[in-house]
Structures are given as C-alpha cells and as structure tokens.
Amino acid sequence: MSEIKKIKEEYLLKLDQVLDQNKLNEIKTELFGKNGIISNKFKQLGLIGEDKRKEFASELNFLKSELQELISKKNENIENQEINKKLKDDNIDVTLPGRTYFVGKIHPVSQVIDEVTSIFSEIGFSVEEGPDVESEYYNFSALNTPEDHPARDMHDTFYLEHSKDLLLRTHTSPVQIRTMLKGKPPFKIIAPGRTYRHDSDQTHSPMFHQLEGLHIDKNINMGHLKGCLYYFVKKFFEVDKVKIRFRPSHFPFTEPSAEVDIGYKIQDGKIKIGEGDKWLEILGCGMVHPNVLKNAKVNPNQYQGYAFGVGIDRLAMLKYGINDLRAFFESDIRWLEFYGFDPLDVPTNYRGLSR
Ligand code: PHE
C-alpha cells in the first residue's frame, strides 16, 4: 500500500472516532502542525526523484485537501452537537409568562393617619406615641376618672389576665399624661394609635383607632379648640365649608366637654360632607380639667388648654365611603385591593395588578 494511502486510511478512521473539539485539534496538529505528518511529507518532496515527484505531489495535495475538508466538517458537527446538548440541558421554558410585580396597598387607616398627621403638623403639632397596654392609672385615674365611673367597667375595658392594673387602653388620652409628665409646657401634640373596647357592630370594632390632640399654653381657650377643629375638618375632607355641631357632653378629664358631629348627606349613593341634615359623631373634646394638669405636674393656675380625641376609622369611613367598620380588620386582600391606596413611588404600570 502506498504511504499516502496508509496515512489516509489511518486518519479517516481516527477522524471517524473523534467526539470532541480537543481530540480534533490534536489530530489537526498531528497532520498539519509544524512537524505534522503532511507538513513533513511536503518538506520531503525535494528528496524524491524527479520522475515520481509530480505524481507524489499531486497525491499529497489531494490527500491534504481531503483531510482538511473532513476536519472542517467534523468541526461543524461537533459544534452543532455541543449547541444541541446545551439547549437540551438548559431546559428553559421560554413559553412561561414573565414574573409580575405585586405591589401592596396602603390600608385606609394608615392612609388617614398619614393625612391627619400631616394636616396637624402644618399647624405646629408634633407627634407622640404611647403603649397599647396601659396602666389603670394613666388610662383612668390620672385622667380624673372616678373609681366608680362606668367606663372602668369590666364590660367596656379589656383588663389583662391576672391583673387589676394592666389593661388595653380604651382611648389615646393616657398619652396626654405621659407627654406632660416627661416635658415642660407649652405642649402642642397629637397622638395617633390603637385603642380597645368591648364593642362590636357595624360602626364599632373591639380594636379601633384614635387620634389624641393636646394643646396647653398660657392663654389657650375654647375658641382655639373650635378654630383648630374647623381647620382640620375642612382640610381633611377637602371642602371650603363644613357644618360642625358642638354638643355639650361629659368627660371626666375635660371641663367643659363637647362632642363634635359633622353634617353630611347621601347623594346618588355617595356621601357628601359639609351639607345635608344627617350628623355623624367624629370626636370628643373639651378644656383640660385642672385635676388632669395637676396629676401631670402642670400648674393649672398658669396653664390651660384643650384636648380632643378623634375616631380615625370613622374619618376613613366617611371620607372614602366605606360603610362597614368590621371589614377594616378582616384582612381580606380583595377588600384591601379595592379600598387601599397606592404607595406613592410605584410606577403606574405596576399598580393595581390583580393576583
Ligand atoms: N378620650 C375620649 C374618648 O375616647 C375623647 C376625648 C379626648 C374627649 C380628649 C375629650 C378630650 O371618647
């Protein structure tokens, strides 16, 4: 067998068995590298007798191009195989829908607390907080509530088990005492927070929210209280005119005391604030009782002022037309999706996507 034929058969077999790029490159060098078999044969051409040289050269050239062609085909095959294997292994399902961003909603109560806080901040009130679990002293006694007052009754107040002294605060008014005890007058604060009473129907929930207001200085009178509440109600409901009714009332911690109702009517199934002849009670208020100031180490001969306690959930119901308070706290995501508010910094195309 001629030398050329031998090489050809050997390498056809080798190339047939090659499975990967590395092996193929090895064979390429073996044949065409600096010291490769084919390269060396070309170098030897000069040693061959003239008569055979031409034939040998042409056979060699033929073999060279045959092998080169085979190698490049093999190369292509191996590349394709590698791509196919990768596609199979990666196993990506490109038909799957993209990932959606679910953006939460702000609960109407949180929204209203933010709104109310910003309205009062604009007119100089700062924000205070107090604990939900309160002592009987701060919740009642320091607020001038007599021992036999019906509000202390087991039926209204959630007392903590095994304790006569600890309870879930029934209003935010204990924050008045805490604020005055830790600072020096004048005081001009609001205190939003959770409050608890043994009560449950369409407009009462055992856990609800209040916002306390307290303004104590040397010359604060009931005119300031009225002005402040008018300002607040107009700003909050975004109306120019409101109907407000001060009804004489009684709280142990204020004297005189009043309950405040705002006028509204229902028009085309929607609530209109500031018009009409229906009334809804939204807050209790009054001039802080001298005994309360004394208990809070403030001299009632020098200082006086007003306080109020607003029902935050009621405000939310009125402003946003929600008629059952209990739904506020049932954590129904569909309810929140409907009545909740978009966080401010979310791009519009991400808002309100349903689950
Ligand atoms: N704490 C009273 C209530 O819960 C409201 C109130 C606060 C009244 C401050 C007067 C002054 O009903």
The CATH number covering residue 243 comes to 3.30.930.10
Question: What are the phi and psi torsion angles at 137 (to 5°)?
Answer: -65, -55
pLDDT of 354 reads 43
Contact status, residue 303 vs residue 271, Cβ threshold 8 Å? no
Q: Is residue 348 part of a domain?
A: no
pLDDT at 347: 52
Q: Is there a domain that residue 349 lies in?
A: no
* pLDDT lower than 70: segments of the chain: 1, 154-155, 344-355
Is residue 60 a part of any domain in this protein?
Answer: yes
The pLDDT value recorded for residue 275 is: 82
Mutate to test the pocket of ligand 1, among 149, 168, 171, 216 (most ligand atoms within 8 A of CB): 171
Same-domain pairing of 187 and 65? no
The pLDDT assigned to 129 comes to: 96
Residue among 261, 355, 337 nearest 105 (CA)? 337
Domain presence at residue 104 = no
Of the residues 38, 55, 89, the one at which a domain ends: 89
pLDDT at 258: 97
Do 129 and 45 share a domain, yes or no?
no
* Domain of 54, in residue numbers: 3-89
**Is residue 99 a part of any domain in this protein?**
no
Chain centre to alpha carbon of residue 127: 22
State pTM to two decimals: 0.70
Q: How many CB atoms lie within 10 A of CB 87?
A: 10
54 and 143 in a common domain: no
Return the best residue to mutate from 224, 249, 251 for the ligand 1 pocket (most ligand atoms within 8 A of CB): 251
Specify the pLDDT at position 276. Answer: 86
16 part of a folded domain: yes
Q: Is the CB of 174 under 6 A from ligand 1?
A: no
Ligand 1 site, residue 295, Cβ cutoff 6 A: no
CA angle, corner 22, sides to 17 and 25, nearest 5?
85
Residue 346 pLDDT: 55
Do 236 and 317 fall into the same domain? yes
Could you report the per-residue pLDDT of 223-263, keeping only the tens digit for each? 999 999 999 999 999 999 889 999 999 999 999 999 999 99
The verdict on residue 154 lying in a domain is yes
Residue with the nearest Cα to atom 4 of ligand 1?
171
Q: How many domains, in total, are found in the chain?
A: 2
